[in-house]
Chains A and B, each alone.
Chain A
Amino acid sequence: MKPPSEIESAPVENPTIGIDQTKGDFQYNVDYAFDAGTGLTEDTVRYISKVKNEAPWLLEFRLNALKTFLSKPMPTHWATKDLENINFDKIRYYLAQGQKPKRTWDEVPDDIKKTFERLGIPEQERKFLAGVEAQFDSEAAYSNIKDIVAKQGVIFVNSTEGLREHPELFRKFFGKVIPTGDNKFSALNSAVFSGGSFIYVPPGVKVAQPLQAYFRINAENFGQFERTLIIADEGSEVVYMEGCTAPKFSTSTLHSAVVELVALKGAKIQYITVQNWANNVFNLVTKRAVAHENAEVKWIDCNIGSRLTMKYPGVVLKGRKARGEVISIALANDGQHQDTGAKMIHAADETTSLVVSKSISVGQGRATYRGQVHIPKHLKGCKNNTECDALLINTNSRTDTYPAISVRGDKNATQHEASVSKVSEDMIFYMQQRGLTEAQAMSLAVNGFINDLARQFPMEYSVELKRLIDLEMEGSVG
């Protein structure tokens, strides 16, 4: 087994703040059996489709998406100019080891297991976790559908398998929540997607344990374009969790996923993300759900890593009394821009939505909240409540808030509130009086700031989150 090859020349963004930048800084040599090369042309798309043995309609779909992607301008009229630094010609759009997803732990190659170890997932837990699907590069390297889940009739496979084995179901919902032309990056994903999960929960089934997937990027200049589709049939319930850490590379990497959720009548979906890409990753993700009558969709979204994240999980409240919720935590450190938020599109009477966003800007980090709430004509009884709080740690940390709230008619109510503050000096002083170092005090205060949101995460995630915040806060003071 080869030891991880550290990249020694990688520049340390801010040596003074003392964060251990080498954490998660590892890479294994992998023989990529399939490699579409760099750059994006029609041939790249044809190649991906061929390798994946796809039906003609899908190739057609991909090629149309490519045209849409190429014709759409960069959204820099509202988004950061940093997007212009993405060099689409240097990105690898498809890469896989050519293996079929593994069914048992023994079949997983050793060096991949080693990667998981570095991610801090103990072996016991790995085996215990229900239906872990860890994506190693483009394809799922390990896919284990736990017996119980399968017995309940739940389909939990990667998207390639979903397309192959459940084409009718997949096609019925695929691209319906997020059309190809929704934005430039959803078009890109539609052209070159590979990997991601496909989940179908039959009517009335309540999936007891969260379904999890871990994603990793492990090749220089390699973009990852996973596509996830989750369908919760009438009255069913499911929790999905994704978390990621990525090795650090010297040049920028692009990650552009599309996640579509469909909650049919009375269904509940909870989608939890802990995003911790390396500081050179552009993370441009489109996530949206449709909630039918009485359905509930809750996005819990935590962004800690990446160079630039642009992600605004949304819920289209399509049926009466549907409910949408976005809980968002963002931490932006030096060299990072977390441009996150939420989108609530009310399309039926008595629909309600809640957005709670907390961001923390450290050093020169920049956190942005961007939101949209839309209540069209002739609806009644719709409610939205949005709260955004920003915490600024250092003198020149930056935060922005850009909500857009459109309400028509007099039978609905919206409320938006935002505040910006710093950690109170009194609080820090008090804790130092009690023997804590300034950094410990700061870390405690920041954890306190997000505590009510962090508590909504499953146990292991909130522990991980706390650990990540401790790490980020080290050296941010003094």
Chain B
Amino acid sequence: MSQVSAPTSVNLTGSFTPEAFEAHLARVKHLPAWWLDRKRAAYARFASLPMPKRTDEGWRFSNFAALTLDGFQVGRVVPDEPSSVRGPGLAFLNNAATGAAPAAPAQGVIFDTLQHALLQHGDLIKAHLLTQPSKLGSGKFAALHEAFLEDGAFVFVPKGVEVAEPFIVRHGATGAGTAVFPHTLVVLDEGAKATVVDFFASDAGGFACGGNDLHASHAASLTYIAVQDWHRDTLSFQFNAITAKRDTQVKSLNLHLGARQARHESYSQLQAPGAHSEMLALTVAQGAQEFDQRTLQIHQAPHTSSNLLYKNALLDTAKTIFSGLIVVDPDAQKTDAYQSNRNLMLSDEAEAHSLPGLEIQANDVRCTHGATSARVDAEQEFYLEARGIKPAQARELLVFGFFEEVLGKIENQDLHDNLAAVIRSKFKK
């Protein structure tokens, strides 16, 4: 595909022209050659792949009207940092690291920028960075991400080390039309334990095309949280790849709050017995926001389990799409997989699409899925009101109760309270 000789039309690359790519390459020319080669291949792939079409099964119900590559420029360093990127941990603004790298919390732990890691731990990065294929329809955008990925966070926790404090990574963008390509790569060695939190925020509408790779080795335990709070005019893509080895526990929670139109793809592979992946998401969709979530959980070995719970609250004229697929490979017996999508309809204009799918090729399994779309339970509302609670307050309580089912799965109390506060702030008009 990369060798297609047809002229690269503007429609296929938009603002991300060959010139823009060359300018980007010039900025990262000090990085290892293998990585630059991969970026060139990725750019060729991006430039040749067509934009998604209405008939693409992976884009069913998606909005194409505002799906564009035009009108953006690759973000450059600016002198003034907005407050959104200040704080503990690693921070990136318009694709570049800001401030100094934090000290590693324990012996052998690496918590650094991808650029530093590429130079110092090249092999480790090569073995884990963007190694999973794009399977959910956004091949073109995933290639764009790889081509323009300038810097990001790298977390490595060595064998047997448990880190209690969460690794915090802040990805920011500033300026209208800015395009950013944030990335977080997490590698946990055998028996390691860690929590990683990505925050995404910007002060103006732009283009965000981010990804994360989560690798959990034998008996590792990883909690990953992403708080997507881009500006309400941003077009956002996020790609998440999880590989879980023997006896691992991977918990990922995505909070979708920002952006005008946001597509999130999550690809989870359970590769060895005992692997468990918990895939959680909470979305507050308001105004004319559109959230498009596509998930794939593949059980490749016997005795693996996964549990997906995606909850959407829809206000105003917002729209959500949840399209999930559980795949159980032949011989992946004793799989236990669950998938659930709950849509809370809070407006007469909101629109929810659920496509929960199963593809099962082994018989000794327990696989179930469920999807519901409904308003707040009238009976519960009545019960609260009968106890003297005002209708507006009763509704608020029930909406937070709806989210608490997911938030309650976060063990770290501070994080839990923080996230609850972020969600609460979305409901304050």
Contact = CB atoms under 8 A, between A and B. Distances in A.
A355 to B, nearest CB: 13
Given A392-B363, A397-B363, A411-B348, A406 B368 contact: no
B360 A78 contact: no
Contacts of A77: 55-57
Contact of B370 (A378, A416, A422): A416
Contact of A396 (B352, B354, B361, B367): B361
A402 B343 CA distance: 18
Interface residues of A, number: 37
B363 A422 contact: yes
Contact of A418 (B343, B349, B368): B368
Contacts of B368: 417-420
Interface residues of B, number: 40
A430 B342 CA distance: 39
B31 interface: no
B370 A412 contact: no
A416 B356 contact: yes
A402 B351 CA distance: 19
A398 B370 contact: no
B416 interface: no
Interface string A51-92: 000000000000000000000000001100000000000000
B371 A413 contact: no
Contact of A400 (B350, B360, B362, B364): B360
A421 B343 contact: no
B191 to A, nearest CB: 33
A277 to B, nearest CB: 25
Interface in A385-436: 390, 392-422
Given A377-B349, A395-B333, A410-B348, A416 B359 contact: no
B49 interface: no
Interface string B41-63: 00000000000000111001100
Nearest to B353: A406
Given A396-B330, A412-B374, A407 B357 contact: no
Contacts of A392: 360, 362-363, 365
Interface string B359-392: 1111111111111111100000000000000000
Contact of B355 (A402, A411, A414): A402
B118 interface: no
Contacts of B360: 390, 392, 398-400, 420
Contact of B356 (A361, A378, A394, A418): A418
Given A400-B358, A409-B348, A413-B373, A422 B57 contact: no
Contacts of B351: 377, 406-408
Contacts of B129: none
A99 to B, nearest CB: 45
B421 to A, nearest CB: 26
B310 to A, nearest CB: 13
B262 interface: no
**Residue of A398, A408, A414, A416 with most chain B CB atoms under a 10 A cut-off:** A408
Contact of B371 (A399, A414, A419, A420): A414
Interface of A: 77-78, 361, 377-378, 390, 392-422
23 contacts: A77-B56, A377-B348, A377-B349, A395-B331, A400-B359, A404-B60, A404-B355, A405-B354, A405-B355, A405-B373, A409-B350, A410-B347, A412-B373, A413-B373, A414-B371, A414-B373, A416-B354, A416-B356, A416-B372, A418-B356, A418-B368, A419-B368, A420-B366
Interface of B: 55-57, 60-61, 330-331, 333, 343, 345-375
Nearest first, the 8 A-B pairs at minimum CB distance are: A392-B363, A410-B345, A407-B373, A413-B374, A401-B358, A410-B375, A420-B367, A419-B368
